[in-house]
Amino acid sequence: MAKRINDMTIRLAGEAGQGVESGGAGFASALSHGGLWLHTYSEYMSRIRGGLNFFQMRVSDRPVWAHTEGVHILLAFSPEAVTDYGPHIVAGGALLYDDSLKVDQAAVTRRKVQSYAVPLTKIAQEVGGDKIMANTCGLGALAGIIEYPFEFVADVIKKNFARKGDAVVGGNLKVAEAGYKVGRDQYAAKFDWKVSPLKDRPDRMQINGNQAIAVGAIAAGCRFMSGYPMTPASSILEFIAGHAKKYDIVVKQTEDEIAAICFAIGAGNAGARAMTATSGGGFSLMVEALGLAGMAEVPVVIVEAQRPGPSTGMPTKTEQGDLLFALFASQGEFPRIVLAPGTQEDCFHTTVRAFNLAEKWQCPVIVMTDFYLTTMTRLIPPAEFPIDRVTIDRGELLTAQQLDRLAEPYLRYKDTPSGISPRAMPGHPKAVHQTCSDEHDEYGHFEDEDRANRLKMAGKRWRKFQHIVDDLRGPTIYGPEGAGLTLMGWGSSYGAMREAVDILNARGTKTNLLHFVDIWPFPEAQAAPLIEAARQLVAVEGNQSGQFAHLVRAMTGRRADRMVLRWDGRPLSPEYIIEQLEEAKVHA
């Protein structure tokens, strides 16, 4: 009997150039039009063509926060997709493939998986006149097997191929419909999992982390962005460049990452809300200029989208391995803020806060994401992105009228109780000052390494660091109070931890989680009591050494009782977390 439970995982897999990404995105769109909730996640190799890629979508009638390791149906376009990803199919699930592929049927049967061979290429050639439509046929067959109404697939085909003309649209529709009939008539009765559209279909946005960051930056009044393309941060630059004219934003693609941060610092010094985005390797190049922003007290937002390192590492995989680097990058000591959003909603709100914090405290703000969060999509109600209610705080930025009334000399680096000095945009005759990378006096003049001045100015900057923490937030708590087991994580670990908490509680293991977005300065006053109250504390991180756990121990004295770590380039999942806990015999 078919399980009409709307929670299943579908994976498309094949070589780059076989339409895996575009086909998966299109099918995901068709599912979203049915009012269903989605979580999509893709893996691809760092090459233009070939290699082994997949696009995975989890569809449900309730909000989903993470991907799953198990796949209910795999649509394979290449032999490697069958051999590498076939073992991921759950018992009773199905392998769907072109009948021209050679498949070891015995191996498939041993895993208690069904084998669905469909003449995708033949149908594409005979019905559509071009074998290039084989992936369209496969998507049609997929919809037929899960008995998802064809009209939703047809609508997406019409939209996606409209620019190519009626002939292309018509051909793809015919091929998809032919595939749909084969899938429905031959295999639907054998496949247990079905997907049905919901009656209530509210408006929701399908958005990834990078898009959410870009929208947050635009809403926050970003007026300048510079960057050098580097996976997985590149699409932030692309998104903002695509909307630059509409929102009056200057965008510069620079020759390298050093130039990118220097451009952004220059724009920030001139009074523009400025940002740059890169990955760990690019951030390594930015480190010296990061110190310039610290010394000159220039507000700038830097997105650091992590991937496995060191060096080039694994360009298209994920990791949380740059945390301690971001906290202490550049020589010397100076205030900086480090934030690590965990969801698309967090990406939007954290980016808005980053611009406000950067200008209020006149320091660099580093927003840390990773490949998984930047590329993973979820469906988000538009109300979660309240663009019309965004508040912009420019801090101690003097207006032209205030400068007109200024009686005493303007001190750009005035020694104040808070450490925050009055800031003015260049150009006003009463606000002429120097911006110096050397230690300087209150005017900004190089002070010839005077000891007293060094103590005064370094002390001024450090007072900011001591007060910034008052503007930061403690961890999010999810799950029951007084749990015997507490998961603790940061950044993109949120979704996997949240679903692991739900699963464990459903099994009778009372579990909750602490998730951190605001990392540095560490919000000790809010976090320490919660960490201390945890009866059994398990740090969950996407790195090899437990970097956040080390930070927590340094700041609070509490050592994590266990750590669940992953550093193979793949993201954390609920199943992975629970499996690691079971192997370590961790119980509440």
- Give per-residue burial for 120-158: e unless 16+ CB within 10 Å, then b: bbebbbebbeeebbbbbbbbbbbbbbbbbebebbbebbe
Mean pLDDT of 60-82: 95
| Topology of domain 7-190, CATH | Pyruvate-ferredoxin Oxidoreductase; domain 3 (3.40.920)
pLDDT surpassing 80 at residue 49: no
Of the chain, the percentage scoring pLDDT greater than 70 comes to 99
Mean pLDDT of 574-587: 92
> Mind listing the pLDDT tens digit for each residue in 80-133?
999 999 999 999 999 999 999 999 888 888 999 999 999 999 999 999 999 999
Mean pLDDT of 27-48: 91
Q: The domain 476-583: what is its CATH number?
A: 3.40.50.920
Which DSSP string do the residues of 522-571 spell out, in sequence order? --HHHHHHHHHH-SSEEEEESSSS-HHHHHHHHHH-PPPSEEEE--SSS-
- Hey, which bits of 329-468 come out as E strands? 337-339, 364-370, 377-380
Question: For position 134, what pLDDT does the model report?
Answer: 94
Sign, CA torsion 477/482/488/492: negative
The model's confidence at residue 499, banded by pLDDT at 50, 70 and 90, is: very high
Q: Where are the domains of the chain?
A: 7-190, 206-389, 400-470, 476-583
Question: For position 183, what pLDDT does the model report?
Answer: 97
pLDDT surpassing 90 at residue 17: no
| Type of residue numbered 265 | I
- In whole angstroms, give the CA distance from residue 91 to residue 112: 5
Question: For position 107, what pLDDT does the model report?
Answer: 87
The model's confidence at residue 3, banded by pLDDT at 50, 70 and 90, is: low
Residues 6+ positions from 461 with CB-CB distance below 8 Å: 294, 297, 334, 335, 419
- Hey, which bits of 80-196 come out as E strands? 89-98, 114-118
> Mind listing the pLDDT tens digit for each residue in 523-535?
999 999 999 999 9
pLDDT surpassing 80 at residue 376: yes
Mean pLDDT of 33-47: 91
Which phi and psi angles does 90 have, rounded to 5°?
A: -75, 160
SS3 category, 312: coil
Half-sphere exposure (Cβ direction) of 175: Cα atoms closer than 13 Å: 30
pLDDT surpassing 90 at residue 58: yes
Mean pLDDT of 444-455: 90
Which residue is listed with tokens 């301690």? 324
Mean pLDDT of 63-79: 95
Write the class of the CATH domain 206-389.
alpha beta
Question: For position 2, what pLDDT does the model report?
Answer: 56
Report yes or no: 446 and 436 within 8 Å, Cβ to Cβ: yes
Which phi and psi angles does 188 have, rounded to 5°?
A: -60, -40
Mean pLDDT of 42-64: 89
- In whole angstroms, give the CA distance from residue 291 to residue 282: 15
Question: For position 51, what pLDDT does the model report?
Answer: 83
Question: For position 106, what pLDDT does the model report?
Answer: 87
Q: Which two tokens stand for residue 138?
A: 């496969």
Residues 6+ positions from 249 with CB-CB distance below 8 Å: 218, 222, 223, 224, 225, 240, 243
pLDDT surpassing 90 at residue 77: yes
Domains 7-190 and 206-389 share a fold: no
Mean pLDDT of 432-443: 93
Which of the two residues, 110 and 51, has the higher pLDDT score?
A: 110
> How would you classify the pairing of strands 377-380 and 485-490?
unpaired
pLDDT surpassing 80 at residue 587: no
Mean pLDDT of 342-349: 98
Q: How many residues does the chain have?
A: 588
> Mind listing the pLDDT tens digit for each residue in 217-269?
999 999 999 999 999 999 999 999 999 999 999 999 999 999 999 999 999 99
| Type of residue numbered 32 | S
Mean pLDDT of 393-408: 94
| Type of residue numbered 193 | W
> Rounded to 5 degrees, what angle do the CA atoms 157, 161, 164 make?
155
Question: For position 586, what pLDDT does the model report?
Answer: 81
